[in-house]
Each structure stands twice: as structure tokens, then as C-alpha cells.
Amino acid sequence: MTTPNLLVLVCILYVTFLFAVAFAADRAALKGRGTWLRSPLIYTLSLSIYCTAWTFYGAVGYAARSGLEFVTIYLGPTLVMIGWWWTLRKMVRIGRSQRITSIADMISSRYGKSNTLAVFVTLIAVVGTTPYIALQLQSVTLSFAAFSKVDPTLTSVVRLRSTGLYVAIGLAVFTILFGTRNVDANERHHGVVMAIALEAVVKLFALLAVGVFVVWGLGDGISNTLDVIDASKIAEWDVPGGRWAGLTMLSAAAFICLPRIFQVMVVENEDEGHLRTATWAFPVYLMLMSLFVIPIAAVGLKLMPSDANPDLFVLTLPLLAGEDSLAILSFLGGFSSATSMVIVAAIALSTMVSNHIVMPIWLRMRGGTAMVAGDVRDVALLARRLSIAGVVMLGYLYFRLSGAGTALAAIGLVSFVGLSQFLPALMGGLFWRGATRMGALAGLSVGFLLWLYCLFLPSFGPGVLLPVSVIEHGLLGQSWLRPQALFGAQGMDKVVHAVMWSMLLNCAAFLLVSLLTFPKPVERLQGAQFVNVFDHSSRPGSWTGGLAQSEDLLIMTQRIMGATEAQALFSGMARKQGLTGYLPEPSTEFLGVLERELSGSVGAATAHAMISQIVGRATVSVEDLLAVADEAAQIMEYSSRLEAKSAEQARTARQLREANDKLTKLSVQKDSFLSQVSHELRTPMTSIRAFSEILRDAGGLNPEEQQKYSSIIYDESRRLTRLLDDLLDLSVLESGQVTLNMQLGLLSDMLDRAVAATGGTVDGFRIERDLPSEQIVLNTDVDRLSQVFINLIANAHKYCDADQPVLRIEVRSAGDKLEIDFADNGTGIQMADQTVIFEKFARIGVSRAAGAGLGLAICREIMARLGGEISYVPGQSGAAFRVTLPQEMCMAAH
Amino acid sequence: MTEEPQDEIPGEVTRAVFYERRTYRRRRMVDATRLLPILGVVLFLIPLLWQGEEGARTTDVMIYIFGIWALLAGLSGLVSRDLGRDRSGSDSEAGADVDALETPGGEGR
């Protein structure tokens, strides 16, 4: 007869064997020999930690209670696995490219390496995994009890508890020995993976052996066994549709979110290609594990007493038949299932706890630098060991509290629902760039709280953690707040109920808050890296140069990775950069590599924080973004400057064009003037010559004729003189050599003189003046100003083409100027000519009245000398000229 | 003599409209991989239709479920083996091609 002592011995031997295998595998991996260690088969087998004691013992119990429903727990992962191209492939790729260490690391990395989020995910993972670990403890404890012939349903609670405690302590020690031999979680645990793979084989083999024994040993072949099933109470196919679909979905979600699955699938992954094998091999494994569950349950129901715990049929059926060795094999299978789960789950959780909770706190207590004192490695290892012990003990606590009487599957489902709360944040992070940190936090908290309230707390039974009144009448007596009939959803299965509300509101909160909040720069960067991981797998966010001290980095890295590894890494990088020695340039590439290496040991958030402490800059700091924005602004400014410049050039070009037009026009005018001048000069010269010849040659001229001819000669020479005087005058004025003869004079006097000089109001020419306004004393060159007035009046005389020509002279003061307008009632000057009338030689309407075209040019020069100006005023009834004088020249006349 | 520059817009990725036979097949295999889980969901839900007055027996459903299970695993094995063979055949090219094809669109693309 098998005694508990023998079982303990078997367990110890088995564990020692596992340890030896793990050790050998580690050694082989170290020497680079065990290529077979990295085969896709090992990977697939390691995934089988999905099948825990829940599967090994609980599935049969589940089937004995609810028939085929148990299979949903394996259909979900099967669907996820064959749909690897959708999600798993991306997760594995991201895990490898970002050196992800845990699911908390994954989520926190995605949302801007936020440690708050990592802490939150870690807490949920710890709380969510606790029932699962309790389940393992319970199953191992029960299996011990089954052997000790104590009726499992009536076990003395004291015995169970003490066994549970021993099992918990044993598992914790075992896991610490196994899982924390090296600190880099990303430096794959070859030994652990190998041991898990071996355990996977053991549990599959054990379950198949029991199945074969039950079908062919106890049930007399397949057809007879099918008859037994048909005759049992689970013969009817009556699984509720909601539970069938809901649990399949739930198990699929849990498969993606479970920390331990994440650990073996993503963190321990050696090669993405392994996933391709696992995509069919893992469903086959699951199928084989489930194959004999229904037959074992049916035969157990038939053969075992009605009060036997169906969770233990796998063990009690061989015992009943007296097959002790098969029973021990079966026990080992169950033990394997439980230990592998606890080991990997504890490793995964301890990594999270130490990376995201202990290390940040420790670093902060250390004054924010990683290099002052102490060995980070030791701290990390210690943190991990303590977390493992803590996690396992939490499981034990749950086991104690929940009373160890619940069906295994029910406990497992509680855990599944809790961990599935990661799904929206995880999937949203992988596929939606709009997902934000706040959204993830909101979704996770809503889902977590609902799970606690609807499923976790009630799972201890009424009155343990949640008062009976709350369960029956709702929180604060509000019946719509009843934990198992939230919002009036009565009559639902409580698991489906919890899944529905928690996932629904989790997703809603996640989406809504994501839509409403704005992500930080690092978050957006990481979002792009995750969502588009296949576009740029190789490079995570880069460090922006900076003057990091390579030596400081080396010191820090040695503390974390160990001296040899750190020096190897640094000198390798230095060689790559073409340098000798141990200190590479702190280039962007090097810092990126270093961060990824460190994140393998301490998690992305911590590694990032440590490097930024030394380098002094975060991946994308606000300064960087500002610099980028600044650059953009500079570019914009430059382009706007270019634009301004080109506008200016256009303006200049326009001015040049105008000037050119003017020049061309003037040149034409000058040509015409020259011909005019030569004509003007020639006409008097011709008459002078002709008449002087007559006077010289023709004798016998009477005195009258002589008088007449010589006066013609005289007049013509005067005309010539005047013309030459004008030219001389203008040239003197232009060269600035003129001397002004300043004196006081009355404006009206000057105008009187000018009117008189031009012949006054003869030939019907009328001049309108306003005498009172002209009573202004001016301090000016009276002669020159009069010359201007004469010129203007003479022009009006000459050019006004009205039938009854009228010249109006108006005097008024405008601000600090005195304006004198000379406006006639003729046709005025055409627009095109207005620009040139003040130029030298400018004459309008070439053929019209005589004149050299110098008058207005002289006027302009005179006015410029006097500090005033003369301009043409367009838009009057005729030609209008305005003479403007500075007011200071004026003195009121009295 | 210098070569005439190609009449190509710089920075614009030119992609063939038709792929060679192997690449084409690989893409269809990827499609199949994506469709498989959908097929699986549908097939696994079918037994729910059998419930009713004279409901099916657990044994029938069990045989059906396990049959489908094996079928899905088999199909998945076939498809993934096809994908794997091509990957080892002409490595990076086809792989990169499918990767590029695979990436879902996001902002900024």
C-alpha cells in the first residue's frame, strides 16, 4: 500500500530529477551545445503550462458536473493558437524587439513606459493569479489526502491545512531555486523551460495512461465506454449557449493574458518560427489532454461512490482498481501540472513585482542614481525571491480562506476572468495607435473593480469577505448593485455575468478615455512602434546623443548585469564603433542597445529611468519635441522670409519697370526736345543770319527797312538769350550752387507781380483771387518764388484751352504747410503725362505752344531749394498745380 | 557616356501589381491562416444548434468536437508548413513582403 511517506519520497526524487535536467540544460545552453533545447517542440511543450492541475484533476471533475462544458477551456486557446497570425505573431515580435520581460512590461512599454501602469498591471496579475495558485495547492493537497485513504470529502481541515502549507513552502523553495539563478529574465531560462517541457510530457503521458486504463481496462473498449457515457447523468448535450460561447471566449482571452503563458510564449521565445510549429502542435496537445476526460468522468461516476470528489477521479480510479503504480504515475502527472504552473507563474509575477515595484522604490530610496552604492543585481535577486515566496503564500492564504472545498474549475474561472481584464489594454495597444495610457488605466481599473465585486469577493462564499446582505440585497441596499445580478441582470450564470459586465465596461472605459485624452510624446512613439512593429522591428525609441559618461554607464551596467557580461557588451560595442578598450561612444545606437539589454534585467521602465538619469535625457523629451518644432518654425520663418524677399523683389522689379518706362519716355521726350531746341535755336538763328546778310549786302535800304530788320535781329537774339538763360538757370539750380536771397515779402504782392509780368487779364483771360487769404508775410526768396508763380500763370495762359479761360488762385494753410493752388478750367493734363511734366525738356503735345519745356522743371528745382514742393493735383476741373511751402516761412501779416 | 536617369519618382515605393507564383501562393496561405480561427469559431458553435426537444447526446457532440479539433490542427499544420517552407526557400524577400503586406494601417502611414 502506498503511504504518504512514499509519496513524499517520490516527489522529492522527481523534483531532484527535474532539477538535474534543468541544470544539465542550463549547462548545455551555456556551452552552446544544446541546439535541440531551442527546438519548436520544446517551445510547444512549454506552452502546455496552460494545462495545470485544473486540467489534470479539475477537467474530469468539471466534466462529471457539467458534461462537455469543460472543453471550452481548451477550445479558446486552440482558436487563439491557430489564429496566431492575428495576435500572437505580433506579440512575439514586439516582445523580442522591445526586450519585454512580462505582460506588465508589455503594457507599460506600449503606453509610454509608464511605471504607474506597470504597477497596476502587476497588482492585478498578483491578485488574479492568487486563486490559480490556491487551486494548485488544493489539488496537490487533495491528491495527498486521497492516498492517505482519508475520505477526501470528510478530510480533517487541520490535516489539509498543514499539508497545504508544506506544499506551499516546498513549491516556493523549489521555484526560488529554479527561477532566480540568473537575474536577466530575458536571458532565457533554458533549464526551467526544459523542466517544464519534461513535466508536460509526464502529465500528458500520465493522463493518457489513466485514460487508456479506464477505457480499455475498466470500460471494456471504446464502444462499451461510449455506452457508459450515454448511460451516465452527463449523457445529455445541454450546455447553455451563453456559457459555451462565453467560456470559449474567456479562455481565449485568458490564454493571451495569463502572465505565465506570456512568460513562456513571448519572453522565453527563442525564434519566431517556433510559433509556426506550436500553431498546430499545441492544439493537438490540448486535444489529447481532453480526449479521455469524458470517459474517465463517466466511468468514475459509475464506479465511484456518489459522495466521492469527482476532481480526483484520475487518481482514485486507479487506486480503486488496485493499480498503485498507475496511481503514482497519475499523482506525478498532477504534481507536474501543479509545480510547473506555480514555478512559471511565480517567476513571471516575481519579475513584475521586482521590476515594477521593488526596483523603482529601491532606486528612489537610493537617491535616484543607480551607481552610488549597492549591487542592483543582489537587490533584484532578493526582490524576486521574496516576491516568489509572497506570491505562493498569497495563494495559500486564498486556499485557507476559500475553505478548500470549492471545485477546482470554479476557482480557475475566477482567476481567468480577473486576468482577462488585460485584454482591452493589450489588444488596443497592439492594434490601435489611439489607445492612451489614461484609457488603459481607466479600462483596467473598471474591469478590475467589477471583477473584485462580482466574482472574486463572492468566490470566498457568502459572509466571508462580502457580507451576506450585500450579496442578497446589493451594496447599500440597492438591489441593482447586487454583485451577481448587476444592473438587474438576473438569472445569469455568475461567471458569464461577471465576464459580460467587466469586459463590457472595461472596453467602454478604455475606448472612451482613450478617445478623450491626449497621449504623451513617448506614448505616441511607443504606440507607433507597437502597432507598426512589422515596419520597423529593429529599433525601439532612440536616445538622443547627449554627453553620457560611458564610464558611469559601465559602472551601472556592471551592477545590474555582472562585470563580465557588462564588459563584454561594452567592448563589443566599442569594437563595432571602431574603438579599442571598454568605453564606446555614447551613441544613440549604443544607448538603445544598452537600454534593451538592461530592460531584460530590470524591465523597460526602470532601465529607461536609469539610463535617463545618467544620460540626462528621456527618449523623446519635451525639449526634443521643442527642438523639432523650433526647426520647423525656423524653416517656416525662412520660407516666409523668402516669400517677403520675393515680394520685395517683385516690388523692386515693378519700380524698375516704372523707372524704365519713365526713362524711355524721357528719352523720347529728350529726342523730341533736342529737335525742338535745335529748331528753336535754328529759327532765330536763321532769321538773324538772313536779316544780317540783307543788312550787309543789300545796299540802298531805307532807314525804315533797316530799323525793321535790325529789330527782328534783336528780338530773335533776345529769344535765344532767354532760352540759354533758362538752361543755365536750371543747371545752376540742379547743381545746388544757387544762392537764395531770403527776405520778407507779402504773398499778395508776389502774386500781383506775377500776374502783371504775364500780361495780366488780357484777351478774356480771367484770374480769380481771394485777396484776404493772401495777406501772408513770407520769409523767402521773393524773386524765385515769384518766378514760380509767373511760370504757372504763364502756363495757364498758354495752355488753357477753355473758351473763357479762368485761373483760380487759392491760398490755404493745411497743418504745417501753406498751400497755393493754381487751377484753370481747361482740359487739364492727361494721366500718362502727369508723371513727366516736371522733368526737364518735358513738353506735352509737342506741336502746341512754344516753349522749351524747362519752366516746370525750374519751378520744381526752385521749390525744392525753398523747402517746399510743387505738384500736379489730378481730378480737378482742369489743370491744377499746388505750390506747398513750409509754414515756418509764414508770418501773419497785420 | 552617362546613363539616362530612370523615370521614377524618388521616395515612391514601386510595387509590382502581380506577384510571382510563389509569393502569390504565400499570400493566400497567410489569408488561410487568418481565416482558420473564424472557421473554427463557426464549427465549434454549430453543436449549439443541436440542442432542443430531442437533443443530441454528449457522445455525438464529443466525437464531432474532437473531429473538428483534429481537422483544425491538421489544416493549421498544413498551412503553417507551407508558410515555413517558403520562408526557408527564399528567405528575407518573401518574408519581408508578407510582413509589409500584413501590417495593419495606422495613422501616419
pLDDT in tens, A719-730: 788 878 887 887
Q: Which residues of A touch B50 (CB under 8 A)?
A: 237
Mean pLDDT across the stretch A834-841? 74
- Measured CA to CA, the distance from residue A217 to residue A620 in angstroms comes to 67
Chain B residues closer than 8 Å to A290 by CB: 66
Backbone phi, psi, residue A447, to 5°: -60, -45
Query: Is A702 strand, coil or helix?
Result: coil
Contact A275, A90 (CB under 8 A): no
In this prediction, residue A205 carries a pLDDT of 94
Q: A358 lies in a domain?
A: no
Q: In CATH, what number is assigned to the domain containing residue A812?
A: 3.30.565.10
**Strand A766-769, strand A742-746: pairing:** unpaired
Chain A residue numbers with beta carbons less than 8 Å from the beta carbon of B33 are 82-85, 279
List chain B residues with CB under 8 Å of A534.
99-100, 102-103
User: Do A93 and A214 sit in the same domain of this protein?
Assistant: yes
* A845 has a pLDDT exceeding 70: no
**Which cell goes with A703?**
532807314
C-alpha R_g of chain B: 22
Q: Cα dist. A633→A525, A623, B103 in Å?
A: 22, 14, 33
Predicted local distance difference test score (pLDDT) of residue B86: 54
Residue of B nearest to A80 (CA): B37
CA distance A266 to A46: 11
Name the residue among B58, B76, B84 with its Cβ closest to that of A68.
Answer: B58
* pLDDT recorded at residue A632: 62
Cα(A36)–Cα(A25) distance, rounded to whole angstroms? 10
Kindly determine whether residue B37 and residue A68, on different chains, have CB atoms separated by under 8 Å. no
Both A600 and A518 in a single domain?
no
Does residue A544 surpass a pLDDT of 80? no
Q: What is the pTM of this model?
A: 0.65
Nearest CA in chain B to A434: B107
pLDDT given for residue A524 in this prediction: 81
Query: Residue A38 burial by CB count (10 A; 0-12/13-18/19+): exposed, middle or buried?
Result: middle
When pLDDT is averaged across residues A426-434 and rounded to a whole number, the result is 91
Shared-domain flag, residues A582 and A512: no
A413: in domain: no
Half-sphere exposure (Cβ direction) of A717: Cα atoms closer than 13 Å:
10
The pLDDT of residue A427 is: 93
- The residue that leads in pLDDT, A854 or A203, is A203
Indicate the number of domains in chain A: 5
Given a cut of 90, whether residue A242 has pLDDT beyond it is no
Is residue A862 within a helix (H) or strand (E), and if so which, with residue range? helix A855-865
Q: How far apart are CA A863 and CA A158, in angstroms?
A: 124
- Contact assignment for A238 to B51 by CB distance below 8 Å: yes
Is the confidence at residue A617, as pLDDT, over 50? no
> What is the ipTM score, two decimals?
0.74
Beta bridge partner(s), residue A781: A742
In the three-class reduction of DSSP (H, G, I as helix; E, B as strand; rest coil), residue A811 is classed as: strand
Among candidates A407, A411, A416, which has minimal Cα distance to A73?
A416
Q: Is residue A784 domain-shared with residue A662, that is, in the same domain?
A: no
The DSSP secondary-structure symbol of A231 reads: H
Name the residue with cell 528780338.
A715
Tell whether A128 and A256 lie within a shared domain. yes
Those residues whose C-beta lies under 8 Å from the C-beta of residue A441, and which sit 6 or more positions away, are A116, A117, A120, A513
CB contact under 8 A, B59 and A226: yes
Whether the pLDDT of residue A148 is over 50: the answer is: yes
- Out of A237, A277, A286, closest to residue B47 by CB: A237
Other beta carbons less than 10 A from residue A26's beta carbon: 19
Q: Is A39 on the interface with B (CB under 8 A)?
A: no
A90-109 per-position pLDDT tens digit: 999 888 877 788 899 899 98
User: Do B40 and A431 make contact, defined as CB atoms within 8 angstroms?
Assistant: no
More confident residue, A638 or B90: A638
Cell of A655: 519700380
* Per-residue pLDDT band at A537 (split at 50, 70, 90): very low
CATH code at A703?
Answer: 1.10.287.130
Chain A and chain B share a number of CB contacts under 8 A equal to 128
Measured between alpha carbons, how far is B56 from B49 in angstroms, rounded to an integer? Answer: 10
Which residues does chain B have within 8 Å of residue A237's beta carbon, measured at their own beta carbons?
Answer: 47, 50-51, 55-58, 60-61
Q: Give the domain CATH number at A234.
A: 1.20.1740
Are the Cβ atoms of A244 and B50 closer than 8 angstroms? Answer: no
Distance between A251 CA and the closest CA of chain B, angstroms: 13
Reported confidence tier of residue B87, pLDDT bands at 50, 70, 90: low
- According to the model, what pLDDT value does residue B99 have? 42
Q: How far is C-alpha A436 from the geometric centre of its chain's CA atoms?
A: 10
DSSP assignment string, A318-348: HHHTT-HHHHHHHHHHHHHHHHHHHHHHHHH
Judged on CB neighbours under 10 Å (0-12, 13-18, 19+), B58 is: buried
Say yes or no: A572 and A532 in one domain.
Answer: no
Whole-number pLDDT of residue A149: 59
Q: Do A434 and B37 lie within an 8 Å CB cutoff?
A: no
Contacts of A71 in chain B (CB under 8 A): 65
| Residue of B31, B34, B46, B59 to mutate, testing the A interface (most A Cβ within 10 Å of its Cβ) | B59
Q: What is the pLDDT of residue A540?
A: 39
Which residues in chain A touch residue B81, judged by CB atoms under 8 angstroms apart? Answer: 276
For residues A562 and A604, state if they share a domain.
yes
Q: Give the pLDDT of residue B107.
A: 36
Same domain, A111 and A240: yes
- Nearest-CA distance from B93 to chain A in Å? 14
Confidence tier at B66 by pLDDT (50, 70, 90): very high
Among the ranges given (A43-57, A557-571, A693-707), the one the predictor scored with the smallest mean pLDDT: A557-571
Per-residue DSSP letters for A663-678? HHHHHHHHHHHHHHHH
Cβ of B58 and A83 within 8 Å?
no
Q: Quote the mean pLDDT of chain A.
A: 81
Among A600, A629, A658, residue at a domain's last position: A629
Q: In this structure, is residue A362 part of a structural domain?
A: no
Quick one: pLDDT band at residue A605, thresholds 50, 70, 90?
Answer: low
Average pLDDT over residues B72-83: 89
A371 within some domain: no
| pLDDT confidence of residue B93 | 37
In a domain, A372, yes or no: no
Q: Which amino acid makes up residue A796?
A: A
Q: pLDDT-based confidence at A842, cuts 50/70/90?
A: low
CA distances from A419 to A101, A251, A261, A356 (A): 17, 10, 12, 18
Q: Name the pLDDT band for B7 (thresholds 50, 70, 90).
A: very low
Whether residues B69 and A280 touch (CB distance < 8 A) is answered with no
A277 touches chain B (CB under 8 A): yes
pLDDT of residue B16: 54
- The answer to whether B17 contacts chain A (CB < 8 Å) is no
Per-residue confidence band for A801, with pLDDT thresholds at 50, 70 and 90: confident
Residue of B30, B43, B61, B69 to mutate for A, most A C-beta atoms under 10 A: B69
pLDDT, residue A729, reads 81
> What residues of chain A lie within 8 A of the CB of B100, using their CB?
534-535
Beta strands in chain B, from DSSP E residues, in sequence order:
none
Alpha-carbon distance A376 to A363, whole Å?
Answer: 9
Does B66 sit within 8 Å of A82, measured CB to CB? no
pLDDT of residue A542: 40
B85 part of contact set with chain A, CB < 8 Å: no
- For residue A736, pLDDT beyond 80: no
Domain-embedded: residue A260? yes
DSSP structural state of residue B57: B
For chain B, report the end-to-end CA distance as a whole number of angstroms.
Answer: 40
Query: What's the grid cell of residue A190?
Result: 533554458
Is residue A520 domain-shared with residue A572, that is, in the same domain? no
Residue A378 lies inside a defined structural domain of this protein: no
Cell numbers found for residue A15: 523534483
**Rounded to an integer, what is the distance from CA A346 to the centroid of its chain?**
35
User: Are A753 and A681 in a shared domain?
Assistant: no
Quick one: which of A132, A148, A124 has its CA closest to A5? A148
Q: Are residues A770 and A783 in the same domain?
A: yes
**Are A835 and A849 in the same domain?**
yes
Pick the range with the lowest mean pLDDT from A2-11, A836-845, B92-101: B92-101
The predicted pLDDT at position A619 comes to 45
Subunit contact A234:B58, Cβ cutoff 8 A: yes
- Split at pLDDT 50, 70, 90, the class of B9 is very low
pLDDT at position B40 is 93
Q: Is residue A363 part of a domain?
A: no
Task: Work out the average pLDDT over A457-481.
Answer: 76
Quick one: cell of A888?
A: 515756418
What pLDDT does A410 receive?
77
**Share of residues in chain A with pLDDT > 70 (%):** 85
Mean pLDDT computed over A556-560: 72
Of the candidates A514, A506, A499, the residue with the CA atom closest to the CA atom of residue A444: A506
Residues of B in contact with A281 (CB under 8 A): 73, 77
A6-20, A70-84, A294-308, A632-646: range with highest mean pLDDT: A70-84
* pLDDT(A66) > 80: yes
Q: Specify the range with the lowest mean pLDDT, choosing from A96-100, A437-441, A500-504, B27-31.
A: A96-100
For residue A851, the enclosing domain spans: 738-891
For B75, the closest chain A residue by CA position comes to A280
Contact indicator for A848, A795 with CB cutoff of 8 Å: no
Given an 8 Å threshold on Cβ–Cβ distance, is B30 in contact with A85?
yes
> Under DSSP, is residue A236 helix (H, G, I), strand (E, B) or coil?
strand
pLDDT at residue B100 is higher than 60: no
Domain boundary among A506, A537, A568: A537
Tell me: pLDDT of A618 over 50.
Answer: no
Q: Which residues of B touch A75 (CB under 8 A)?
A: 40, 44, 65, 69
Pairing of strands A766-769, A806-814: parallel
Least trusted range by pLDDT, from A155-164, A227-236, A326-335, A674-683: A155-164
Residue A56: partners with Cβ closer than 8 Å, 6 or more residues away: A139, A203, A206, A207, A314, A333, A334, A337, A338
What's the grid cell of residue A313? 477521479
| pLDDT band of A404, cuts 50, 70, 90 | low
pLDDT band of residue A841 (cuts 50, 70, 90) is low
With an 8 Å Cβ cutoff, are A67 and B55 in contact?
no
Strand partners of residue A671? none
What average pLDDT does the segment A684-702 reach?
A: 82
A769 confidence band (pLDDT: 50, 70, 90): confident
Please identify, among A507, A537, A567, the residue that sits at the C-terminal boundary of a domain. A537
pLDDT-wise least confident of A48-52, A149-153, A391-395, B51-55: A149-153
Q: Which residues in chain A touch residue B48, judged by CB atoms under 8 angstroms apart?
A: 239, 241, 244-245
- B107: chain A residues, CB-CB within 8 Å: 433-434
Mean pLDDT of A355-377: 67
pLDDT band at A211 (very low <50, low <70, confident <90, very high): very high
Distance, CA of A554 to CA of A816 (rounded, Å): 81
Q: How far is A293 from chain B (nearest CA, A)?
A: 10
Asked whether the CA dihedral A675, A676, A678, A684 is positive or negative, the reply is positive
**Is B47–A80 a contact, with Cβ atoms under 8 angstroms apart?**
no
Which residue is closest to A281 within chain B, CA to CA?
A: B73
